[in-house]
Structure 1
Amino acid sequence: MGHHRRALRTTAVGAVSAALIAGGVLGLAPAAQATNAVRFVDITGDGGVVLKANVTMPAGAADGARRYPLIVLPTSWGFPQVEYLAQAQKLADSGYIVVGYNVRGFWQSGGRIEVAGPQDTADASKVIDWALANTPADAAHIGMGGVSYGAGISLLAAAHDKRIKAVASLSGWADLIGSIYSGRTQHVQAAALLDGVSVVTGRQDPEVRQVFDDFYASNLAKEQDLIDWGKKRSAATYVDQLNKNGAAVLMANAWGDTVFPVNQYADFYEKLTVPKRMELRPGDHATAELTGLFGLPNDVWTDTERWFDHYLKGTDNGIDREQPVQLKPRSTGGYEGYPDWKSVGEARGRIALDGTTTIHTNVDSGADGGIVFLSSILDQVAQVPPIAAIPLLPRRWAAVWQSEKYATARRVRGTAKLHTTLTPTKESGTLVAYLYDVGPLGLGKLVSNAPYTFHDRTPGEPFGVDLELFSTAYDVPAGHRLALVVDTVDPLYIEHNPSGAQLTFSSPANDPSYVSIPLREQ
């Protein structure tokens, strides 16, 4: 396991180092074309830590003759302080004062990485304090936003600082444990990616280092500590405070986000009672926003500016009258609007998981969720998700159930849900469920997947399993069918199957097994 973790971390560091270099370039390139004054400043954060920051102001703002709305942008995980300069220029052109800052522990900012803990939240308020004291920013019109780490910190800050009136949370999280430990299963590639980046670009707090080590080691004695640690760093924990404070919240994410899956975002969105909007698009973690960081046209950033314009400036641009849930399916080009998330998956179809099926563990059947970042990016740019030859999957290691062929095209929108009865031969185990779109030749394109882990079960005693697959929006062509595949090994996750274990799936008459799919005709 140690060698496996080191290999993952090395791969993650190599891959992301290239991305960070690109990030630095894309952040620096627009600066040469700056039309507004940009100042690089030091801001004193919580506990005296120095935060490296940059301030972009509209032309003529330095004379202090009037006040301007303020937008604060904390950087993404591992990115330098110049990350948002292209967008800062655009926002300043529109009449905003923009302060971007490097979060503590990364690059030249002081302190240590504590993963959106209390000090990170306090830092955000300190940056607002500094901007109000040192720029002609308007204290009554403050917004906050960012990508990934900056998105999570922005949501947390809005729950703790009443001055924040609007938030743009792009590719962020609302439930940290629900993101990297969903189904009680470690999302090891995602964790190794975050760990590797922070080792290269920052300085981890000892508590964070211990959390990563316990996570990799599957230390069940520390499981509750991990959950408690994650709750402190999750906006879902503070949703009542966020609703009370009233900040308008824009959330955007990608269907294939392998770091912060859509489900946890959508669950949080439904609990918000403030003005809100959720946009979901093809791609992986933060890939939908990437071109906007170059200053290129980008839907996410366009709507972010519209959101701020309406809720900070009072501009009547119609964004508040549009359907608040906007989906761009993986296989079509247009957007679909819905009144809420519940409406997305109202129509349901089922595949019955009849009979009794036993599979052996410890071997990858060939069905898997792909590779962190790479697979979902291929799906985003070329509509090529992970593929498996369904008829060739070895039934010793994979359970397979299929629907009938659909005479007309079908739309999958929302969250598929698996319900089954499982009988293990060991007290612990892991299964991974996959939903495939299967063509006439038996090739299956991955629609969704999710892992599930159990511990402390009595061998030979059946129990019920309910598992939500990761939410998606996918079009199934006419003449195709859907297939549910279950196996026990996937490179994306740490599996907990003892050697020689077997899993038996059954469908009792009084509790039939099925997968419920948010399915409707096109």
Structure 2
Amino acid sequence: MKRFWTALSATLITLLTVVTFAPPATAAVGSTIEYRTIPGHGGIDIKAMVITPTNTDGPYPLLVMPSAWSTNNLLYVGAGKKLAQESGYQVISYTSRGFWDSGGEIEVAGPEDIADARKVIDWGLENTDADPQRIGMAGISYGSGISMLTAAVDKRVKAVGAMSGWTDLAASLYQNETINFQAVEALLALGKITGRPGEDLQEIEREYRKGNIQPALDLARSRSVLAQADALNANGTAVMIAHAWNDGIFPPKQQTDLFTRLTGPKRMMLSPGDHATPEAFGAAGLPNEIWESLTRWMDHHLKGVDNGIDRENPVQLKPNNGRGPWAGYPDWESASADRTTFHLGEPSRSWTNWQATGGLEPEPDTGWTYGIQAGIGTTAHSGTLIVAGALQQFADIPTGVLLPTVDRSRAGVWTGPTYRDGVRVSGTPNARFTVAPTATEQSLYVYLYAVDKNGKGALLTHKPYTLRDADPGTPVTVDVDLEPVVWDVPAGDRLALVIDTVDLRYVNESRIGQRVEFSSPAGDPSTLTVPTA
């Protein structure tokens, strides 16, 4: 099997080099692409595409790019060729250990992967005309995490481009103690199809199938980029983060948390899309805003080019709807110019609204309770992994709901006043409410919608929350930050908060026959806080 993948990769790169990536005869600067074997950590073979500028003198800045999960060294060949020919980079795009044609087993961005990345840098310095003072790393998803973790321990890496990566692996796949079912199953399946899971990954899956998530959490701690923030700061690493609002594998809040912790040169770009979709076409060498910014970032920090990127606002945000332009801010906090706190009113029926609905009120409304059945879903949901975010990015089609169809016996629903002139929600919304569960473990899903006059809602953001080891019947205060978002709410629309107990994206702990009771105590009123620009 190993020889098969090796032969396949060699054949593909030959075709790509001759047909697709051969430089035009008239090009002042060209490039060569070679399929090479690099000695990795522990004596394994790392298979790489080595892309070298031609018709120009070195030494060249070195850019090392580890492959994303389940992909191989062909992932960045298009972008690498462009970087070599247009900007003079020595590029090494390699297959991460355990996948496709590289040796070893999948170690989930463990110490072996970091050691491999350092070996690739060593090889590049010894076998190409690369400049040891000008080394950068960049990658998508898995490659992003490996790049950041390597930069934290290797001072030779001066700049990093982290696209669709993670900062806290546990928080990504176990948000508020809720398992991201679709993401976990997709990653496990792709790992088996395209690679060879190592012992740790096999053990994690065995325990996960038994309902024990603890081994995964234990492993995730050592893979946390957020935990390496101080090391990145000490190294002075120039970090560019690019991420999607709707990333269903690594949600964006962890990126804003890391960005705030970083003290060195930094840039953060958040835009519409799902996991890896904003930068996918750029990896193939096609025009792409993320890769254009990445090139400028590397040009400035590795080549000393005065291209102005250091004078731009480091936070660049593109609205998740409406195809609006980028907006720049000096820091993440400045993206939220104001915050409005709404108070959850008692859900009730009226002649004009036969479904029990609460208001999002300017003043506290306390002393009420409202119970729902648990374990049965409603029409409110977070959408399908990758599909939902891609539809939002490419077609401006949000994950929707027809609010009148949300069963009020299975969900709490609260609606706010109409925005006569519209409003830009910008930042991290927060919901704080009190619930009394009827079981020790119950899942809750919090959705924030923009709803038009016909009751058609567009999902702005959401967050899961699972009560663990709760005392049945005893009220619990839930304080949950939803995922950050920039969303232009049209004139005439209003916001709606929906909380139910089932979402097919996650492993649900709520069971049929259970109940949940919402309330708003006088001493701690239930609220929704909405940041606006």
Instruction: Work out whether the TM-score is over 0.5.
Output: yes
Equivalent residue, structure 1, for 2:335:
344
Asked if the contact 1:365/1:397 (under 8 Å) is kept, the reply is yes
Identity of aligned residues (%): 44
Q: Residue 232 of structure 1: CA displacement?
A: 0.6
Q: Which runs of 5+ in 1 are unaligned?
A: 1-20
Q: Assess, with a 3 A threshold, how the Cα gap between structure 1 residues 490 and 216 changes in structure 2: closer, same or farther.
A: farther
Distance 1:282 1:489 in 2: 25
Q: Assess, with a 3 A threshold, how the Cα gap between structure 1 residues 437 and 190 changes in structure 2: closer, same or farther.
A: same
Asked if the contact 2:379/2:405 (under 8 Å) is kept, the reply is no
Residue among 431, 441, 465 paired with 2:478:
465
Equivalent residue, structure 2, for 1:12:
none
Equivalent residue, structure 1, for 2:403:
390
Distance 2:264 2:18 in 1: 35
Aligned to 2:114, the other structure's residue is in SS state: helix
Equivalent residue, structure 2, for 1:15:
none
Q: Residue 157 of structure 1: CA displacement?
A: 0.4
1:118 aligned onto 2:104: no
Distance 2:209 2:178 in 1: 11
Aligned to 1:518, the other structure's residue is in SS state: strand
Q: Residue 380 of structure 1: CA displacement?
A: 0.9
Aligned to 2:270, the other structure's residue is in SS state: strand
Say how many residue pairs are matched. 491
Asked if the contact 1:354/1:506 (under 8 Å) is kept, the reply is no
Aligned to 1:437, the other structure's residue is in SS state: strand
Equivalent residue, structure 2, for 1:11:
none
Q: Residue 59 of structure 1: CA displacement?
A: 0.4
Aligned to 2:459, the other structure's residue is in SS state: strand
Q: Assess, with a 3 A threshold, how the Cα gap between structure 1 residues 473 and 70 changes in structure 2: closer, same or farther.
A: same
Residue among 77, 86, 99 paired with 2:78:
86
Deviations 1:187-212 (A, max 9, x none): 01011111111111000012112213
Distance 2:287 2:216 in 1: 40
| TM-score (norm. length: structure 1) | 0.91
Asked if the contact 1:306/1:317 (under 8 Å) is kept, the reply is yes
Distance 1:463 1:414 in 2: 26
Equivalent residue, structure 2, for 1:435:
448
Deviations 1:210-263 (A, max 9, x none): 2134335432xx52x432211111111111111111110000001010011100
Q: Assess, with a 3 A threshold, how the Cα gap between structure 1 residues 350 and 218 changes in structure 2: closer, same or farther.
A: farther
Distance 2:519 2:19 in 1: 61
Equivalent residue, structure 1, for 2:468:
455
Structure ID, larger Rg: 2
Equivalent residue, structure 2, for 1:33:
21
Equivalent residue, structure 1, for 2:158:
165
Asked if the contact 2:80/2:285 (under 8 Å) is kept, the reply is no
Distance 1:444 1:248 in 2: 40
Q: Assess, with a 3 A threshold, how the Cα gap between structure 1 residues 154 and 30 changes in structure 2: closer, same or farther.
A: farther
Q: Residue 325 of structure 1: CA displacement?
A: 0.3
Asked if the contact 1:147/1:170 (under 8 Å) is kept, the reply is yes
Q: CA RMSD in A?
A: 1.7
Asked if the contact 2:446/2:463 (under 8 Å) is kept, the reply is yes
Residue among 457, 460, 477 paired with 2:490:
477
Deviations 1:406-461 (A, max 9, x none): 11110011111110111111111100000011000011111111100111111111
Q: Residue 31 of structure 1: CA displacement?
A: 6.3
Distance 1:168 1:289 in 2: 11
Residue among 403, 408, 413 paired with 1:400:
413
1:72 aligned onto 2:64: yes
Equivalent residue, structure 2, for 1:103:
96
Moved more, 249-258 or 232-241: 232-241
Distance 2:53 2:272 in 1: 34
Asked if the contact 1:351/1:402 (under 8 Å) is kept, the reply is no
Residue among 318, 322, 326 paired with 1:335:
326
Residue among 29, 40, 44 paired with 2:39:
44
1:314 aligned onto 2:304: yes
Deviations 1:247-305 (A, max 9, x none): 10000001010011100111011100110000011000010111112321100000010
Aligned to 1:479, the other structure's residue is in SS state: coil
Asked if the contact 1:351/1:401 (under 8 Å) is kept, the reply is no
Distance 2:146 2:81 in 1: 22
Q: Partner letter of residue 456 of structure 1?
A: D
Q: Assess, with a 3 A threshold, how the Cα gap between structure 1 residues 58 and 442 changes in structure 2: closer, same or farther.
A: same
Aligned to 2:376, the other structure's residue is in SS state: coil
Distance 2:258 2:402 in 1: 36
Equivalent residue, structure 2, for 1:147:
140
Q: Residue 403 of structure 1: CA displacement?
A: 0.4
Equivalent residue, structure 1, for 2:270:
280
Higher-helix-fraction structure: 1
Deviations 1:445-480 (A, max 9, x none): 111111001111111111211111111111101111
Q: Partner letter of residue 444 of structure 1?
A: G
Equivalent residue, structure 2, for 1:264:
254
Asked if the contact 1:31/1:85 (under 8 Å) is kept, the reply is no
Equivalent residue, structure 2, for 1:241:
231
Aligned to 1:277, the other structure's residue is in SS state: strand
1:411 aligned onto 2:411: no
1:175 aligned onto 2:168: yes
| TM-score (norm. length: structure 2) | 0.90
Aligned to 2:486, the other structure's residue is in SS state: strand
